[in-house]
């Protein structure tokens, strides 16, 4: 019966993997299909004629100026990278400082912790209009800072909540030992707590990066030109009424997906490295 159980498990795992990876496979193959192969029936699961026309703006000509040529996607790609990296870095720094103060010195108590995580429950659309009014008076509309600050509102509370858990798992006796050796709070935080919480830092920075990268509503409300618009806004250009440029849209989606994959792989390396840290050497 063991072999039957293992077989069923492998079948179920294979079905789950297929369910999650097939859309990615379809995105990749569509990005390299010619326009005449987008709507073939039966569907073409493998491109009959490979082409880079979707990336160079040579396919889907009935959409006029809407292309995925590098010259058109580059500004949006740069905006997304700068904004997402800034949000990941700033959010992690603020969350680490706040979580350390709450975990070690009980700043605000549990009520403060509950208030922080409650901010995460705020629907972004409820904050869109007030933020637009505020940033308009500050002359920050259509700038990187408008999106960075608005994204921090939603990424920092969740990052803080996660890091509190990580800091609570680190024995407080380590801090006390560092104080006995003459270290101050800042040195203890930098040399003891942060290295031991590397998995948590990698996790919250990755989550913040992904959330900022795929955010659409704030980018739509707070930006008006390619000076600050991000890739999700750029992807919307390929949907015009009933017509959808599937090839260029898939190509743009592939370009949009790659930086997230690269960033996640880089952070995974640090995440695994952080797991090797320990309070006691055996």
Q: In the chain, what percentage of residues exceed pLDDT 90?
A: 30
Q: CB neighbours of 37 closer than 8 A, spacing ≥ 6? A: 44, 47, 48, 49
Q: In the chain, what percentage of residues exceed pLDDT 70?
A: 88
Residue 221 has pLDDT above 90, yes or no: yes
Co-location of 43 and 181 in the same domain: no
Contact 50, 111 (CB under 8 A): no
Q: Distance between CA 220 and CA 201 in Å, rounded?
A: 29
Residue 280 has pLDDT above 50, yes or no: no
Co-location of 233 and 125 in the same domain: yes
Structural domains of the chain, count: 2
Does some domain include residue 282? no
Contact 183, 258 (CB under 8 A): no
CB atoms within 10 A of CB 117: 14
> Domain range for residue 219?
70-274
Picking from 65, 76, 74, the residue whose alpha carbon sits closest to that of residue 227 is 76
Residue 189 has pLDDT above 80, yes or no: yes
CA 274 to chain centre: 20
Q: Tell me the pLDDT tens digit for each residue of 96-151.
A: 999 999 988 888 777 788 888 888 788 888 889 999 999 999 999 999 999 999 99
Q: Tell me the pLDDT tens digit for each residue of 238-247.
A: 776 667 778 8
Tell me how long the chain is.
282
The CATH number covering residue 209 comes to 1.10.3720.10
Does some domain include residue 152? yes
Residue 261 has pLDDT above 60, yes or no: yes
Co-location of 133 and 235 in the same domain: yes
Residue 202 has pLDDT above 90, yes or no: no
Residue 72 has pLDDT above 50, yes or no: yes
Q: CB neighbours of 212 closer than 8 A, spacing ≥ 6? A: 83, 84, 87, 88, 147, 151, 155
Does some domain include residue 84? yes
Q: What is the pLDDT of residue 273?
A: 55
Q: Tell me the pLDDT tens digit for each residue of 167-181.
A: 988 888 888 888 888
Spell out the alpha helix ranges (H) of 106-193: 109-119, 124-137, 144-169, 172-180, 185-188
**DSSP tag of 244:** E
Instruction: Give the largest Cα separation in the chain, rounded.
Output: 74
Residue 212 has pLDDT above 70, yes or no: yes
Residue 71 has pLDDT above 70, yes or no: no
- Helix 70-105 to helix 144-169 angle (10° resolution) is 40
Average pLDDT across the chain, whole number: 84
Where a domain ends, among 16, 38, 61? Answer: 61
CB atoms within 10 A of CB 216: 14
Q: What is the pLDDT of residue 276?
A: 47
Q: Distance between CA 241 and CA 255 in Å, rounded?
A: 23
Q: Tell me the pLDDT tens digit for each residue of 14-70.
A: 999 999 899 888 888 888 888 777 777 787 788 777 887 778 766 655 454 455 566
Q: What is the pLDDT of residue 59?
A: 61
Contact 247, 30 (CB under 8 A): yes
Does some domain include residue 166? yes
Q: What is the pLDDT of residue 65?
A: 47
Q: What is the pLDDT of residue 133?
A: 95
Torsion from C-alpha of 49, 51, 53, 54, nearest 10 degrees: 90
Q: Distance between CA 52 and CA 142 in Å, rounded?
A: 32
**DSSP tag of 68:** -
Residue 192 has pLDDT above 80, yes or no: yes
Q: What is the pLDDT of residue 279?
A: 41
Does some domain include residue 281? no
Q: Distance between CA 85 and CA 264 in Å, rounded?
A: 12
Using 50, 70 and 90 to split pLDDT, how confident is the model at 272? low
Co-location of 57 and 138 in the same domain: no
Where a domain ends, among 61, 78, 104? Answer: 61
Q: What is the pLDDT of residue 61?
A: 52
């Amino acid at each position: 019966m063991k072999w039957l159980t293992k077989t069923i498990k492998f079948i179920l795992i294979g079905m789950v993997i297929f369910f999650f990876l097939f859309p990615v496979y379809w995105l990749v193959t569509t990005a390299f299909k010619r326009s005449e192969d987008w709507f073939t029936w039966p569907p073409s699961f493998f491109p009959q004629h490979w082409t880079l026309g979707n990336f160079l703006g040579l396919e889907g000509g009935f959409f006029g100026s809407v292309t995925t040529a590098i010259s058109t996607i580059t500004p949006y790609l740069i905006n997304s990278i700068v904004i997402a990296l800034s949000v990941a870095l700033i959010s992690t720094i603020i969350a680490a400082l706040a979580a350390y103060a709450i975990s070690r010195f009980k700043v605000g108590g549990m009520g403060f912790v509950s208030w922080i995580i409650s901010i995460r429950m705020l629907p972004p659309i409820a904050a869109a209009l007030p933020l637009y009014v505020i940033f308009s008076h500050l002359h920050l509309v259509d700038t990187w800072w408008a999106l960075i600050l608005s994204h921090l509102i939603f990424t920092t509370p969740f990052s803080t909540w996660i890091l509190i858990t990580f800091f609570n798992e680190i024995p407080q006796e380590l801090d006390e030992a560092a104080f006995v050796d003459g270290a101050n709070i800042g040195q203890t935080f930098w040399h003891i707590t942060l290295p031991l919480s590397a998995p948590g830092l990698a996790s919250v920075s990755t989550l913040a990066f992904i959330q900022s990268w795929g955010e659409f509503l704030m980018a739509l409300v707070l930006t008006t030109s390619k000076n600050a618009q991000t890739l999700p806004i750029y992807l919307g250009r390929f949907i015009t009424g009933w017509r959808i440029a599937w090839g260029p849209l898939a190509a743009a989606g592939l370009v949009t997906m790659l930086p997230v994959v690269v960033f996640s792989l880089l952070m995974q390396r640090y995440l695994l490295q952080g797991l090797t840290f320990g309070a006691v050497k055996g």
